[in-house]
Amino acid sequence: MMEDRIEVREDYAFSDWLYYTAAALVPLFTGAVAIYPQSALGLVSYGGVVLAGVAVVMHLFCTHCPHYQKPGRFLKCIFFWGLPKFFAPRNGSLTRLEKLVAVAAMGLVLFFPLAWLAEEPGLLLVYLLSLAVFLATVRRHECRRCVFSDCPANAVPGQTPGRQGNVG
């Protein structure tokens, strides 16, 4: 069967960022709503873990991305819009260590609220479902046309994930 021709996305629109930010905020806020009544310190720690996780991913992962490497001081992609590029863009492939640490940082963000969510089965269900919808949306609509060919999740047809050769 012939595969439909898929064009990689060189640019994103503000509306893309709004959509994915809203989608990502659903599980994040669900985690926060589960944590707060049980532990204010836990909520502050959750905020710290999210910010630190984003900083680690931006430093190790995003700095290699073609969207980050575009000229200009501000980042404009599906997850960051108008955010200053705090770190210098970096050429070359992602190393195995960079991939591992970035995945571990995101894993920590996702697993952190689970102990509190386990006390609230209804919120746990919302957390898991909203996370599944978010990840499935990114996978179905972005990974198949992503310019970041070095990303291990890249699913552009005919391209080997994790291999350098970025467009843009």
Q: What are phi and psi of 76, to 5 degrees?
A: -135, 100
CB of 67 to ligand SF4, least distance (A): 4
For residue 81, list its beta bridge partners: 76
Could you tell me the CA-to-CA distances from 106 to 53, 56, 122 in Å, in that order? 6, 9, 23
- Nearest CA to 16 among 78, 67, 80? 78
CB of 66 to ligand SF4, least distance (A): 7
For the bound state, the minimum distance from the C-beta of residue 48 to ligand SF4, rounded and expressed in Å, comes to: 20
Identify which of residues 32 and 59 has a Cβ nearer to ligand SF4 in the complex: 59
Tell me the closest approach of the beta carbon of residue 75 to ligand SF4, in angstroms.
6
Which residues contribute to the site for ligand SF4 (CB under 6 A)? 61-62, 65, 67-68, 75, 77-80, 148
Cβ(105)–Cβ(57) below 8 Å: yes
Shorter beta-carbon distance to ligand SF4: residue 126 or 154: 154
Minimum CB separation from ligand SF4 for residue 76, in Å?
9
Q: Which helix (H) or strand (E) holds 31?
A: helix 14-35
Considering the complex, state which of residue 74 and residue 111 has its C-beta at the smaller distance from ligand SF4: 74
How many CA within 13 A on the CB side of residue 12?
24
**What DSSP designation does 115 have?**
H
Smaller CB separation from ligand SF4, 134 or 148: 148
- Measured between alpha carbons, how far is 66 from 55 in angstroms, rounded to an integer? 18
Q: Which is nearer to ligand SF4, 43 or 57 (CB)?
A: 57
